[in-house]
Amino acid sequence: MDYSSIFVCLMGMGTVFFGLICLIALTTLMSRLCGRKQPTPEGQTAIPAAPEPDRQELVAAVSAAIAEELGTDITGIRITSMKKL
């Protein structure tokens, strides 16, 4: 059988279009199924967030990483301020 090039092009585009619509439908369905939140019992509260780590340890770790990257001694690095992005 000899198919015209227009027919092959339209069949290929139709197949891709159909596949993309199936992907959209499946991701929408999964987001609706997984997005449901379980109701919390009346006696329980939400779990509090984890406490922030010790700032001195964080500054020491960042200083060590910067010193390692720059190839210098850690005593030559002074961090004056850090803020969360």
Q: Give per-residue pLDDT as tens, 1-11.
A: 788 999 999 99
Q: What is the CA radius of gyration of the chain?
A: 28
What confidence score (pLDDT) does residue 27 get? 95
Among 54, 51, 60, smallest CA distance to 79 is for 60
How much is the pTM?
Answer: 0.39
The torsion of the CA quartet 19, 22, 28, 33, rounded to 10 degrees, works out to: -130
